[in-house]
Amino acid sequence: MPYKSHLPSIPLPKKPVGNIFPLWKHSVEDPNRPAFINAEDSTDNVTFRDLYTRSLSTATFLEELHFGHGDVACIDMRNCWEYFAIFLGVALRGGAMSGANHLFTEYELQRQFKDSASKIVFCDEESLQKCLKAAKGCPNIQTIVVVHKRSPNLDLPFGLVSFKNVLKRKPNVNSQPIDIDTKRDVLLLPYSSGTTGSPKGVMISHRNVGAMIDLRINHTENYIMKKIDPQFDWKQQHVMLFLPFAHVFGLQMLLRAVICRATGVLISKFQPKLLCQCIEKYKVRLLKIPPPVVIFLSKSEIPREFDLSSVEVIIMGGAPLGKELCDDVMAKMPNLKLLGQSYGMTELTVISHQPVYSGKQQKFGTAGKLLSNNEMKIVDPKTKEEKPSGERGEICIRGPTVMMGYLNRPQATAQTIDDEGWLHTGDVGYVDSDGDLFVVDRLKELIKVKTFQVPPAELEDLLLSHPKIHDAAVIGIPNVRDGEHPMAVVKKDADLSEEDVKSFVKDRVAPYKQLAGGVQFIHTIPKSSSGKIMRRYLRDEALAIRNASQSKI
């Protein structure tokens, strides 16, 4: 029998996401309260009244462009309040938003422009030249809008639109409402590699987003924060917003802050000292962070320069960390009551599991409890038969946040979501007698560098485009700081060096996709009878070589 969440189900929103944000109410009841504080520029703070009118102005601008149902807007920007205004404007117009990783190269960005069939691009001054080059091969792109606050006098090329001019639009309150099917209309189109292959557009509906917002608010408030402090009130909180909004984890934190009327503290990208300054200044109580930031809190001397005693809860996403490191963080932050792990993926509109505060530290290694309104089962990866409690198998999730599927990839969708609606995660885990999930391995080929996905197939395709590389495989090599590093195993011509291979990759992919794990040359890439690369064998061999060399030191 599938596991059903032991937490009570809650009613979920049935309206389109653009209609569930109480911005109008916030702007009337608390008009001068800061919706966002820019930690890097205090002149760029935005009140709830400002955010409401500017979001409507963005929607009006999109209406003028005839942007609407089924259209896609791609965003390549650092974290800023404009991100939310664009998101809400797109949602109100019935379109979809596709966030691009700000670290993408022109090559990677153009691929997303084309695959998503983006009609409009929003970028900042930092990514402008890259977006212009990437857009040249994309006739589907009709308009590029530039947010250029850091360069207010930037001379934009002809045909481009300044976001300042977007905000000059008077909101069209008489605009005809868009007919949106909350279950079938795409709202978000992030890119993920899924369990295998190159990046694919993940179709996330209005229902998915609305359900995830409500489920996360319900769980964090009622099963964590109010168990610590029954008087906990979101309206009195400051929420740190430094994780990239292009990733669904960061975006959901942004949306939650607005809907709860908390004040979001914006940092354009992770800056260790500034993060600590803000935690101290705004008495931040809850942090949701990736493992590298937890390592920073443990290993760096910077946190010791600040008063971080306000922090009561830290919830990690991503790979689990070692017990010694977690114990060290708990010891260095004496008011920390919970250091817990969550579990999820883009295809689940962020997460399916979070810890529940019980008055004592979460079991080490667990990814927490299944969120309300969800089901889970553990199955044999080959036979698909369910496993009993305590036995390992593939983790499968069914519920209101499971994606619609992959854009224009029915086969990949069918391989991930079965006929009964179960999403097969590609992760291996088990459930103990208390209903806690433990993630112990993964079937999928994905390499995880910090919080970023690196699909081996993408790097392999790139390597095979080199005239002197005859075959290639890419594997993940464990790294204490970053989780994993990509390593290339290459069958080559005689006169090709490791530096040649690294140099070839360097200018074509984002920094986190670089071959930091090194390059190994081999006579033949081992493959199964069906032609699949034997990655586990290659990884074991590479680790054996590394361990042998370290033992000689």
Please report, for the domain that includes residue 398, its CATH number. Answer: 3.40.50.12780
Q: Hey, which residues does 4 pair with through a beta bridge?
A: 375
Q: Give mean pLDDT, residues 323-330.
A: 85
Q: Could you list the residue range(s) of the whole structural domain that residue 258 is in?
A: 3-9+203-442
- Average confidence (pLDDT) over 401-418: 97
Higher pLDDT, 461 or 264: 264
User: What's the rounded mean pLDDT across residues 531-544?
Assistant: 83
How far, in Å, CA of 134 to CA of 481, rounded? 32
Same-domain status, 160 and 253: no
- What CATH number corresponds to the domain at position 479? 3.30.300.30
pLDDT recorded at residue 349? 97
Is there a single domain that holds both residue 211 and residue 290? yes
Q: Which of 393, 412, 442 is a domain's end point?
A: 442
What does each C-alpha distance from 262 to 23, 192, 230, 259, 270 come to in angstroms? 12, 29, 17, 8, 21
Same domain, 430 and 518: no
Residue 134 lies in a domain: yes
Can you give the C-alpha Rg of the chain in angstroms?
Answer: 23
pLDDT, tens only, 299-316: 889 999 999 999 999 999
Q: Which of 188-197, 199-208, 380-389, 525-534 has the highest mean pLDDT?
A: 199-208
User: How many C-beta atoms surround the C-beta of residue 227 within 10 A?
Assistant: 16
Q: How many residues does the chain have?
A: 553
- 396 within a domain of the structure (yes/no): yes
The pLDDT value given to residue 5: 96
What number is the average pLDDT over the span 62-86? 97
Residue 129 lies in a domain: yes
Task: Please tell me the distance from the alpha carbon of residue 21 to that of residue 92, in angstroms, as a whole number.
Answer: 11
In the block, which residue shows the tokens 């990208």? 269
Confidence band of 41 (pLDDT split at 50, 70, 90): very high
89 or 461, higher pLDDT = 89
Domain co-membership, 211 together with 175 = no
**How confident is the model at residue 155, as a pLDDT?**
87
State how far the Cα of 524 lies from the Cα of 420, in Å rounded to an integer: 41
Residue 334 shares a structural domain with residue 273: yes
Residues 262 and 350 both lie in one domain: yes
The domain boundary, picked from 442, 461, 490, lies at: 442
Please determine, for residue 518, whether its predicted confidence score (pLDDT) is greater than 80: yes
The answer, yes or no, to whether residue 276 has pLDDT greater than 90, is yes
Q: Are 527 and 534 in contact (CB under 8 A)?
A: yes
Domain boundary among 442, 460, 495: 442
Domain-located, residue 432: yes
75 or 159, which is more confident: 75
Q: Give the Cα separation of 275 and 241 in Å (integer).
A: 10
432 lies in the same domain as 460: no
Q: Report the CATH number that the domain containing residue 63 is assigned in CATH.
A: 3.40.50.980
In a 13 Å sphere around the CA of 164, the CA atoms on its Cβ side amount to 9
Retrieve residue 383's tokens. Answer: 């036979």
329-360 residue pLDDT tens: 999 998 999 999 999 999 999 999 999 999 87
264 and 355 housed in the same domain: yes
Query: Between these two residues, 191 and 455, which has the higher pLDDT value?
Result: 191
49 and 166 together in one domain: yes
Confidence bin at 467 (pLDDT 50/70/90): confident
Count of domains in the chain? 3
The Cα 275–Cα 278 span in angstroms is 5
Same domain, 162 and 243: no
Q: Which one is predicted more confidently, 464 or 417?
A: 417
The answer to the question of residue 163 being in a domain is yes
For residues 123-145, average pLDDT: 96
Contact predicate 342/507, CB 8 Å: no
Average of per-residue pLDDT values in the chain: 92
**Among 515, 117, 453, residue whose Cα is nearest residue 442:** 453
pLDDT of residue 552: 61
Instruction: With cut-offs at 50, 70 and 90, classify the pLDDT of residue 450.
Output: confident
Confidence band, pLDDT 50/70/90 cuts, at residue 287: very high
pTM of the model as a whole: 0.86
Please indicate, yes or no, if residue 186 is contained in any of the structural domains: no
Is the domain of 404 the same as that of 469? no
pLDDT greater than 60 at residue 553:
no
> If DSSP states are collapsed to H, E and C, what string results for 19-87?
HHCCHHHHHHHCCCCEEEEECCCHHHCEEHHHHHHHHHHHHHHHHHCCCCCCCEEEEECCCCHHHHHHH
Is 196 within the bounds of a domain?
Answer: no
Do residues 235 and 262 make contact, with C-beta atoms less than 8 angstroms apart? Answer: yes
pLDDT of 230 > 70? The answer is: yes
**Per-residue pLDDT tens over the stretch 203-219:** 999 999 999 999 999 99
Spatial contact of 233 and 241, defined as CB atoms under 8 Å apart = no
Q: Specify if 244 maps to a domain.
A: yes
pLDDT in tens, 141-196: 999 999 998 888 888 988 999 999 999 999 887 778 899 999 999 999 999 877 66
515 and 393 share a domain? no
Q: State the Cα–Cα distance between residues 29 and 23, nearest whole angstrom.
A: 10
pLDDT band for 481, please (50, 70, 90 cuts).
confident
Task: Report whether pLDDT(53) > 90.
Answer: yes
Q: Write phi, then psi, for 452 (nearest 5 degrees).
A: -100, 145
Question: DSSP code of 234?
Answer: G
CA distance 178 to 70: 11
With 60 as the cut, is the pLDDT of residue 530 above it? no
Check: CB of residue 189 under 8 Å from CB of residue 203: yes
pLDDT of residue 44: 96
Give the pLDDT band of residue 551 (cuts 50, 70, 90): low
* 140-144, 409-413, 479-483, 517-521: least confidently modelled range: 479-483
Torsion on CA atoms 542, 548, 549, 550, rounded to nearest 10: 110
Percentage of residues in the chain having pLDDT higher than 70: 97
